[in-house]
Amino acid sequence: MKRVIGLFLILLTSINAKNCPLPSQLSSIHSIEVTDINRYSDLKRNRYNLSSLCIKEVLLKEHIYNWRFLLVWNENTPKGAFWYLPHDNENSAFDSAIYSANKYGGGFLSVLANGSRYFKNQDPNRNFGVDRKTTRVCRGQKYKAPLYSNTIFKIIDYFKTPNMPYLALHSNANGHRDSGGGGGVSMLHCSNSTKCFKANDILRGNKRGLKDEDSLIYLASKKGVDYNKVKRFNNLGLNIKYELINPNRNDCSMSNFVVLNKNSTKYINIETQDGDSKTQKLMIDRVLRVYR
């Protein structure tokens, strides 16, 4: 009987999210308890890897949007690498974030949008902008969003250790195919404002690992290319897309906000093809090796 009860308790803890209080420094943020992980497909899929993680749902109302997010952090090591995941349709990015939170501490903040890229026709990764001036420049942002922008960065700045860059995770459609309005991402499509630095010969096709055209990291700066940084990551076998940020071309994405509003060049977004969490985890290991 004891054994049965023990087994039951193990099952129970693996299925229910831990009820951790939000850190007091974040007490101004509105959050609710996640009581049933089965109501969140991303959590349900990862249910056997949640036992060391704290999970809360964060709520934020601004203009016409009732934003919802999953905030996940490592109970024993709350500070560490901390990721932003703006696109709810990118399931492999979520799985990679769970891996990182367990392995490296810290955690992530992930937009809840019923499994879609957009939330009420707004791309969450085009909503970083605090005033009307930026909204005018950003075609993808409908209304200025100081609450959205500042709340997200308040959370990030609490959980990330100072040495860590601002981190994002995405997965994209194979090749240059548009993954639903956000534009396809590929090492084979570069421009003067988004420069490509290949670590190796690029392979087309399905999930070809680090050499796949869809496996790449985004870096960003407004002061030109940092070639030392390029060399460091290329030497780790990582392909790079380097965004040259300019306020007149601000697109209200996270990278632009980090460079223009946080005045930082410490931004890294890890991209792989949808379904290729295996390569993304490998890339996380290599990127975080640089910052640990």
Answer yes or no whether residue 241 interacts with Zn ion by CB under 5 A: no
What does the alpha-carbon distance between residue 88 and residue 93 come to, in Å, rounded to a whole number?
A: 9
- For tokens 């709810």, what's the residue? 88
Least spacing, CB of residue 13 vs Zn ion, in Å: 32
**Residue among 163, 166, 165 nearest 152 (CA):** 166
Give CA torsion, residues 194, 200, 201, 205, to 10 deg.
-80
Least spacing, CB of residue 180 vs Zn ion, in Å: 9
What does the alpha-carbon distance between residue 66 and residue 59 come to, in Å, rounded to a whole number?
A: 7
Answer yes or no whether residue 170 interacts with Zn ion by CB under 5 A: yes
Q: Which of 56, 71, 84, 87 binds Zn ion (CB under 5 A)?
A: 87
What does the alpha-carbon distance between residue 175 and residue 140 come to, in Å, rounded to a whole number?
A: 23
Q: Which amino acid is at 191?
A: S
Stretch of 34-42, 132-140, 170-178, 245-253 contacting Zn ion, by CB under 5 A = 170-178
Residue 74 vs 92, nearer CB to Zn ion: 92
Stretch of 79-87, 127-135, 195-203, 262-270 contacting Zn ion, by CB under 5 A = 79-87
Residue 118 vs 233, nearer CB to Zn ion: 118
Least spacing, CB of residue 216 vs Zn ion, in Å: 13
Angle, CA of 224, 230 and 232, to the nearest 5°: 145
User: SS3 of 167, please?
Assistant: strand
Number of neighbours of residue 75 by Cβ within 10 angstroms? 15
Answer yes or no whether residue 160 interacts with Zn ion by CB under 5 A: no
Stretch of 163-171, 207-215, 216-224, 231-239 contacting Zn ion, by CB under 5 A = 163-171
Least spacing, CB of residue 106 vs Zn ion, in Å: 20
Residue 170 vs 211, nearer CB to Zn ion: 170
Residue 184 vs 209, nearer CB to Zn ion: 184
**Spatial contact of 168 and 83, defined as CB atoms under 8 Å apart:** yes
Using CB under 5 A as the criterion, which residues of the chain lie in contact with Zn ion when the complex forms? 87, 170
